[in-house]
Amino acid sequence: MLKNRWLAASCWLCLCLAPVAHAQGQANNSVFIEELTTQEVSAALKAGKTTVIIPVGGTEQSGPHMAIGKHNTRVKALAGKIAVSLGNTLVAPVLAYVPEGTIEPPTEHMGFAGTISIPEDAFKSVLLGTARSFKKHGFTDIVLLGDHGGYQKALGAVALQFNREAAKTSVRVHYIADYYRATQTTYVAALKAKGLSSAEIGTHAGAADTSLLMAIDSSMVRPERFAEAASAGWHSGTLGDPRPSSAAMGQLGVDAVVKISVEAIKKAIAAPSR
């Protein structure tokens, strides 16, 4: 009887520990630096994973129907998919604090509760410090991906400044404008091919914006408030009509962004240093 009890207890313990071991295995294989130990990052570098993506999001209102962390959630998920496709790439923690307009008087998204805005100089300094950190650790190609349109020029300026500093080394920062551009061109064209109008697609929190988030994390979307967003317009923080939105529509954007970004990153890394 004691033997049977011991066997039962052993089996129970194995069942309890199995999910933990599985989770640890997943973490060890993660492309996200924040999920790895410092030893695992070092091992990845030695194995040739010398490209790192810095995903830039933003904390801004997105109408009454989307959570404020929209950009952060999207850029992390998309950067992860891009890193997996590239195969030699890790992903840094998302930069969630970005320029979103002046605070006094409030401009752009700062008129809506929950939005966080920082000065552009501070934003650039954080990115430069992050890139310099990765250079110190042995990464040779540092990729900037931005999910929000307002700071795209700043990303380009950071890349230019870093590359001037590092001109005598083999380390470069690559600003991939095609990541954001894909959401404004290829993705929009795909939605129009599905019958959506420009007014529905919109430029902020419309069907394009909303569908893309639905494809990545539908829990951050409130479909019951689509009609309110459409009728109130910018008074509710919306420029577009989210009512035609769907995860299937958003997947068109996911596919376009990942494919185009992977191609652009490979091209940028292969290009000779200037």
Q: Using CA atoms, how far apart are residues 245 and 252, in angstroms rounded to an integer?
A: 12
What is the rounded end-to-end Cα distance, in angstroms, of the chain?
Answer: 76
* Cα 31 off chain centre by: 13
Separation in Å, CA 128 to CA 121, 156, 244: 10, 12, 40
Higher-confidence residue: 12 or 124?
124
Superfamily name with CATH number, domain 36-270: Creatininase (3.40.50.10310)
Domain ranges of the chain: 36-270
Q: Give residue 27's pLDDT.
A: 55
Q: Give residue 81's pLDDT.
A: 98
pLDDT at 12 over 80: no
Q: Give residue 5's pLDDT.
A: 52
Please say whether the beta carbons of 31 and 83 come within 8 A: yes
Per-residue confidence band for 23, with pLDDT thresholds at 50, 70 and 90: very low
Q: Using CA atoms, how far apart are residues 158 and 79, in angstroms rounded to an integer?
A: 19
Run of H or E residues at 52: strand 51-56
CA-atom Rg of the chain in angstroms:
21
User: How does DSSP assign 188-233, residue by residue?
Assistant: HHHHHHTT--HHHH-SBSSHHHHHHHHHH-GGGB-GGGHHHHHHHG
Q: Give residue 29's pLDDT.
A: 87
Q: Give residue 273's pLDDT.
A: 72
Q: Using CA atoms, how far apart are residues 15 and 112, in angstroms rounded to an integer?
A: 48
pLDDT at 130 over 80: yes
Task: Work out the average pLDDT over 111-134.
Answer: 97
Q: Tokens 């064209």 label which residue?
A: 189
pLDDT in tens, 189-209: 999 999 999 999 999 999 999
pLDDT in tens, 29-87: 899 999 999 999 999 999 999 999 999 999 999 999 999 999 999 999 999 999 999 99
Please say whether the beta carbons of 89 and 49 come within 8 A: yes
